[in-house]
Structure 1
Amino acid sequence: MRGTLTLTWILMVCLSQVAVQSQYYSESLPYDPRPVKVTNLYFFLHETLRGKNPTVVMVAQANNTSNDNYSSVPFGTLYAIDDPLKIGPGDNSEVIGNALGLGILSGKNSTTVVMYLDFGFTAGKFKGSSISIFSRNPLIKMERELSVVGGRGEFRMAEGYARLKNYFFDGTTVIIEYNVTVIHY
């Protein structure tokens, strides 16, 4: 009996130590009363699909064994992207940054790409800042809208949307007009 009580007492002491050591840690940060900012950005994304210096390259393609998929851009194809951002649609327009990311053709019966892009600005007022877009992009639509889901630098904690409009396409070069509304702190 005495051994049982001693064992019970030892277990209770050990269990009380486990409970103390397993408490989670939380820290409240002071409220920052800075007002929310809304910034409108307007630029052009220049994409080169073929040639000596493409800005989009296929990284992986699904292993499709069926003979019914003859598309040149089949479902499951993954692309790496490094496109320049320019202030205008012209080839000689000033470069203000680049869009780095991934796109995967994810619509079985359409040309829809799910894209993650980080738009890093290397010149101008927002040099060193970026916005992140993660959204569905139906490529065949002339105009479409994508989600801004984050940012860094001047665009810390960003959210918003980007309106895209196809400006030019010739089979090798794609130019897309971006009109972006960013809500940030």
Structure 2
Amino acid sequence: MMRTGGLITCILFFFLYLSGASAMRPVMKKRREPCKRLELFFHDIVYNGKNAENATSTIVAAPEGANRTILAGQNHFGNVVVFDDPITLDNNLHSTPVGRAQGMYIYDRKDTFCSWLGFTFALNSTEHQGTLSFIGADPLLNKTRDISVVGGTGDFSLAKGIATIMTDAYEGEVYFRLHVDIKLYECW
């Protein structure tokens, strides 16, 4: 049997443990500045059955009975598009590319325009060599959307951060240009 003094000591140590544990919990850090920031544009030209020489993306899967040269109705739900788009430093499609955006987007909501993005920027310029990989939801009707930067290679080895995407321009369902503001918070 434990004595009263021993019980009080145990209780005291328990409360000290709890107060120490709460003191050791992570504290919310102040928002820090990015270690690297890039602003780039990528240009997507969807194949529509007539523009094979200019197309940089194509529908590779569609809902049953849908046409793979025209995006499906009902917010394009079920379409899967693979792309290999030029990346430029400005919003001009004819500017010299600094790399390629390569990946896919999947229209994944029936009730609104939304897609899931998984892609890589492969940069090959005098300023940057390497890749950045992105993943996340893209609710297309929002003015700005944030997706995760989940890694990289070369100049961006092990990079992590946030990319804010804005639709800069679009022409029907054949062409769109995205402005991508990349803020890296882990740079090696």
Residue 140 in 1 paired to residue 141 in 2? yes
Q: 2:74–2:111: 8 Å Cα contact kept in structure 1?
A: no
Tell me the alpha carbon deviations over residues 119-167 of structure 1, each in whole angstroms, 9 at most, x when there is no partner: 000112212x010001001112222111111111121111101111221
Q: Distance in 1 between matches of 2:46 and 2:65?
A: 23
Residue 45 in 1 paired to residue 42 in 2? yes
Q: Distance in 2 between matches of 1:138 and 1:84?
A: 22
RMSD after superposition: 2.0
Query: Structure 2, unaligned stretches of length 5 or more?
Result: 1-33, 67-71
- What is the CA-CA distance between 1:64 and the residue it aligns to? 6.8
Match of 2:116 in 1: 114
Q: Partner letter of residue 125 of structure 1?
A: E
Q: 2:75–2:110: 8 Å Cα contact kept in structure 1?
A: no
- What is the CA-CA distance between 1:91 and the residue it aligns to? 2.7
- What is the CA-CA distance between 1:108 and the residue it aligns to? 2.2
Match of 1:102 in 2: 104
Q: 1:96–1:122: 8 Å Cα contact kept in structure 2?
A: yes
Q: 1:88–1:94: 8 Å Cα contact kept in structure 2?
A: no
1:9-48 correspondence runs (5 A):
38-48=35-45
- What is the CA-CA distance between 1:72 and the residue it aligns to? 6.1
Larger-gyration structure (1/2): 1
Q: Distance in 2 between matches of 1:64 and 1:160?
A: 40
TM-score, L = length of structure 2: 0.70
Match of 2:9 in 1: none
Tell me the alpha carbon deviations over residues 73-111 of structure 1, each in whole angstroms, 9 at most, x when there is no partner: 532211101111001111332210011001111112121
Query: Structure 1, unaligned stretches of length 5 or more?
Result: 1-36
Match of 1:93 among 92, 95, 116: 95
Identity across the alignment (%): 24
Q: Distance in 2 between matches of 1:136 and 1:62?
A: 20
Q: 1:43–1:87: 8 Å Cα contact kept in structure 2?
A: yes
Tell me the alpha carbon deviations over residues 17-53 of structure 1, each in whole angstroms, 9 at most, x when there is no partner: xxxxxxxxxxxxxxxxxxxx81101111111124232
Match of 1:179 in 2: 181
Taking structure 1 as reference, are residues 92 and 75 closer, same or farther at Cα in structure 2, changes over 3 Å only?
closer
Q: Distance in 1 between matches of 2:76 and 2:168?
A: 24
